[in-house]
Amino acid sequence: MKRGLILILILLLSLTVAQAVDVTYEVVKGDILPGDTPEYILKILNNEKYDLNVNLLQLSSVDLFRLNQENKVYTIPAGSSRNLQLTFTAQKESVPGYYGIHTVVKTQTSRLEKVLPLTVISPDESLELKFNPKAVLDPRRSVILKLDVKNKYNIDYSSLELNLQSSDFELTRKFDLARLETKTLELPVQVDRETKEGDYFAHFTVVLDGKTLMDSTIPYSIGAYQNVNELVEPETRFLYSGEAVTKTNEGNIPVQEYYSKDFSSLAYMLASFYPEPTSVNKNNGGYNVEWQFSLDPGQAKTVGYAINYRWPTLIVIVVLLVLAGWHVFRKKNAIVVTKRILAMHGESGKLHIMKVLIHVRNRGNITVKDIKVVDKVPASVSSPAKYGMYQPSKIQSVPEGTVMVWDLPAIPSGHEKLLSYVIECKQQTIERAVLPPARAKYVLFGRQIVAGSATVALKGKKETI
């Protein structure tokens, strides 16, 4: 009997002690990424009539996080309450999952334990991204994709960076995301018109403070459309007619195309086709020609024909042209000579160094042989200091200046020779000196021909090396 009374008395005292201190908590940051710091507010109410000294302890043997306020003593006056901010530091890399942080509140008369809930979230599961509605792109026009970004946990994100990249587009966006918030990002996109219809994937990364939070893909689709453009280019000339038809597949799916044309028997005999027709059928005394071909997206195909009625007169025209050309060629100089000056360097009041270029070009249709090029430098200008690739065969001083002669064995049709030499002269000489024309002498079809360049004034505008 006495033993039972003692047990009841102990139970009543325990209940009184338990009610003397009331401990509750508020989760400030209970959802975290690996490496983050959880935070809580511990609310302690002192129901006693005297001050309590509160000491915070942690059962470190079972926890992954260390209480930063451990062993600190807080005084709570009688009948009052106090909010204590608790923060924890990770002891080691935490594995995503659900945890309980065991925290002990110890006073002079009691010892209470609270288990603080904690969720460590895998970064690649912290957010959810999807196009809403499903992204179906039309290559013919720009569209705005709506990307829903959902925050699945009680974590505040600041300055998130989204990088979205595919074979068709590339975008970057920065945004903030509050706890459990779903935000819609509007992304303008324009894909190539030739992009083929089908399903694709866009690769995305979400970066937080320089670290990749998520790395995954989002599906999207390219819609199908047909668009074949036909361009007809007729060609009508004297005794000649034809037509070129170009079909371009500006859609994004393959198509089968054809083109047909009717010809009379004479026109068919004189016609040429490109490429060869797929089929040729007789049709009411004439012929029907048809081309059939397939076009991939972005591909173009040209078919056509030409009817030439001029071949009976072609030989006569060719003979007349040859005779006329022969006549004109005999009367026209084949060799053309041009002369120009390049200013190399120099200053006012000092010597100016200039390079003289002589172009000897054969504009005729046959090779011209044994060409003698003669050029003269006036006495007011110094004799040439050096020459280019071709050295003169003769250099002679005369009262009027210096005469140079180049012997060129042959210049083929359409080719040219470049002769050059360097001269020096003073500023006052440049103001009045003029270089005489260079001359080329040769024999063509038994005729002695002399071709000359224009004179060149040293004062004129010169190109600079």
User: What is the per-residue pLDDT for 10?
Assistant: 42
CA distance 243 to 37: 78
Q: Looking at domain 228-309, which of 2.60.40, 1.20.1300, 1.10.287, 2.80.10 is its CATH number?
A: 2.60.40
User: What is the per-residue pLDDT for 69?
Assistant: 87
Q: Is 258 in contact with 290 (CB distance < 8 Å)?
A: yes
User: What is the per-residue pLDDT for 373?
Assistant: 94
The third-level CATH classification (topology) of the domain covering 18-120 is Jelly Rolls (2.60.120)
The third-level CATH classification (topology) of the domain covering 335-464 is Immunoglobulin-like (2.60.40)
Q: Is 282 in contact with 262 (CB distance < 8 Å)?
A: no
Q: What is the pLDDT of residues 24-50, one digit of tens each?
A: 999 999 898 888 889 999 999 999 899
CA distance 52 to 47: 10
CA distance 47 to 309: 119
User: What is the per-residue pLDDT for 168?
Assistant: 86
Does the model's pTM come out above 0.95? Answer: no
Q: For residue 209, which phi and psi values (nearest 5 degrees)?
A: 55, 40
User: What is the per-residue pLDDT for 465?
Assistant: 56
Taking alpha carbons only, the member of 326, 178, 305, 152 closest to residue 242 is 305
Residue indicated by tokens 């359409």? 414
Burial class (CB in 10 A: 0-12, 13-18, 19+), 125: exposed
Q: Say which amino acid occupies 423.
A: I
Task: Judge if 123-222 and 335-464 fold alike in CATH terms.
Answer: yes
Residue indicated by tokens 């079809």? 445
Q: Is 156 in contact with 178 (CB distance < 8 Å)?
A: yes
Domain boundaries, the chain: 18-120, 123-222, 228-309, 335-464
Q: What is the pLDDT of residues 102-157, one digit of tens each?
A: 888 888 888 888 889 999 998 888 899 998 888 888 887 788 888 999 999 988 99
State both tokens at 460: 């004129």
State both tokens at 262: 């009717």
User: What is the per-residue pLDDT for 461?
Assistant: 58
CATH class of 123-222: mainly beta
Positions in the chain whose pLDDT score sits under 50: 1-2, 6-7, 9-18, 61-62, 348
Radius of gyration of the CA atoms of the chain, in A: 49
Q: Where are the alpha helices (DSSP H) in 278-354?
A: 311-331
Q: For residue 2, which phi and psi values (nearest 5 degrees)?
A: -65, -35
